[in-house]
A and B are shown apart, each in its own frame.
Chain A
Amino acid sequence: MFGLAVRRALWAIPVLWIVATVTFLLVRVVPGGPFDAEKNLPPKIVANIKAKYHLDRPVLEQYWLYMERLARGDLGVSYKYVNRTVNDILADALPVSAQLGSLALLIAVMIGVPLGTLSAVKRGSLTDWTAMLLSTAGISVPNFVIGAVLILVFGIWLKILPVALWESFRHMLLPSLTLSFSPAAYLARLTRASVLEVTEKDWVRTARSKGLSSGQTVLKHVLRNALVPVATVLGPLTAILITGSFVVEYIYAVPGMGRFFITAVTNRDYDLIMGTTLVFAVILIVANTVVDIAYNFLDPKMQVKS
């Protein structure tokens, strides 16, 4: 298991390098530069600004300079938020997004897993049907629609929750609820499928026939096994959460990574785009690695094989 972790960590280095290179080239071939909007500035000053950030050099030289700094852990400076380094901005934004993401994940697990289990246990019943209708609806609603409805109901009609900013726990409720919606639905569908598969196993019948109640069987024999595949979807779940965070942070004006990424793209703030992209890539790689290791750890059959 330790060997696997090391292999995965080493594999992450070339992946990150490729991600950095592709993003670097992408942002530079995108039409429009970071200082195009300042039309009223004399050309001399624009040239000076570009020289200051080495944007007047050939792309290959810029690439070399960037990679050199990146190797030292320096992500550069933001062109728009003057006086702030990208490291600074990310150090502020990452905890906010992490808070939002983990709260949403918590809500999603607390709703999704019980709903899916209930649905599978009562297979074919009205409960099952309703739960699956709800969860299919859940993966079909765009985040911004959930956001709009929640804002309308709780923010505008009932006026009980704040609809923007990130200041107290009350501010976190609507954004995390919005973000948790599709992962919860995804988890419910997955848990149901997984529980159904385990229920058909011989040893579940054995457990029932030795006199365990159906509740005990589900808790002790079914769920413990059915949650193995569920625990390993952390990778896709993280991807869903990151994608969702773009919209949710945009809607609720949450000062997190997703919102900084969107403004950075709009402003062509090269280093900030690079920095956020790399952090997102690291998060995804870590999530997928944890999944791979967890899979080995949770499923004894996999251990024998490797």
Chain B
Amino acid sequence: MSSEIEQLSIEPLPEPQEYVATRRRQGPLLEAWRRLRRIPTAWAALWVIASLFAVAFLSWAGIPLTPYSYDQTSAAILSSPTWAHLMGTDELGRDLLTRVIYGSRLSISIGLTTALVAFVIGTIYGASAGFCGGKMDSLLMRGVDIAYSLPDLLVMILVGVLIGRGTLGILIALGLVSWMGTARLVRAQLLQLQHEEFIEAARSTGQGSLALITKHLLPNALGPIIVALTFTVPSAILSESTLSFIGLGLSPPACSWGTLASEGWRALRTHPHLILFPSFFIFLTVLSFNFLGDGLRDALDPRTRIKS
């Protein structure tokens, strides 16, 4: 509060927008959080994501959520949903609900890891391009253009087959096609921010390039980066399930929502529940992340903040 009063005494007639800017400096994340809570779809999505994470975490920690283990067979083969098996069973008599919960670990961790990889590679690459500028910038960005001119799925298939169709192979393949968007975004943000007065001020205090990037440029570009990463998670989950579905991604015994849907596809005519339940969870997760991303974009966008 005291800093605000000081500022007021220096500037006798503050513009309303400057006042907003001052308030924002006190807690941009807190305010974004408050704004996010006011968006019903984003708030609901956050709860769904939290529940899915909790279930995946409990499953990973070995706490049984259903009376079966994920590879436990029973006499009820290809059973439709019943009280004993809420989502039915597959052709080996394994409980589908248990397998969907088990598969959530892999699907969710693939989504999160890909976002992390995209963040690290994309930020370093984009920051180098945006900060260096000139020839270096155009060279690096031509690299992004080339990477963009290949269809994602094609690269993922080739790289996935190359490294092996295990989890690591898929993760590397997904990481390789997901960083370009973040790189472009970080570069654009940096180019824009570099001409701001506060960066000039920071530069004039004699700070090194790295400190300038990490302390002043990136924190101010964080909003759009977070939004982009929120959209990376669902697209990674979609890509993994699509790859596994056409038989070029993970394959059994690996168990993700994609492999489950792929197995269910073969019984579409007779036992549609086998594809519909895993698909529903892919849909629910991806939808939630998309709603959360939309909400975060609105909550973090300074333009909408000043308007309202």
Contact = CB atoms under 8 A, between A and B. Distances in A.
Are A and B physically bound partners?
yes
Interface of A: 15, 18-19, 23, 26-27, 29-31, 133, 136-137, 139-145, 148, 151-152, 156, 239, 242-243, 246-247, 250, 261-262, 265-266, 273, 277, 280-281, 284-285, 288
B242 A247 contact: yes
Interface stretch (B66-74, B129-137, B197-205, B264-272): B264-272
Given A148-B272, A151-B268, A15 B241 contact: no
Nearest to A243: B153
Contact of A144 (B153, B158, B242, B294): B242
A148 B146 CA distance: 34
Interface residues of B, number: 39
B283 interface: yes
- The 9 A-B pairs with the shortest beta carbon distances in the complex, nearest first, are A140-B287, A140-B286, A145-B279, A243-B153, A30-B162, A26-B158, A242-B151, A144-B245, A250-B246
A18 B146 contact: yes
B246 A142 contact: no
Q: Is the interface of B mostly helix, strand, loop or mixed?
A: helix
B149 A142 contact: no
A19 B150 contact: yes
12 contacts: A27-B158, A29-B162, A30-B158, A136-B287, A136-B290, A136-B291, A139-B290, A144-B265, A145-B279, A247-B245, A266-B247, A280-B154
A140 B150 contact: no
A66 B224 CA distance: 44
Contact of A23 (B158, B234, B291): B158
A262 B290 CA distance: 29
Nearest to B240: A142
B275 interface: yes
B152 to A, nearest CB: 6
B294 A136 contact: yes
B260 to A, nearest CB: 12
Contact of A142 (B153, B241, B269): B241
Contacts of B238: 140, 142
A148 B269 CA distance: 10
B298 to A, nearest CB: 11
Nearest to A283: B151
A26 B275 contact: no
A30 B275 CA distance: 31
Contacts of A142: 238, 241-242, 245, 261, 279, 282-283, 286
B151 A284 contact: yes
Interface in B142-200: 145-146, 148-154, 157-159, 161-162, 164
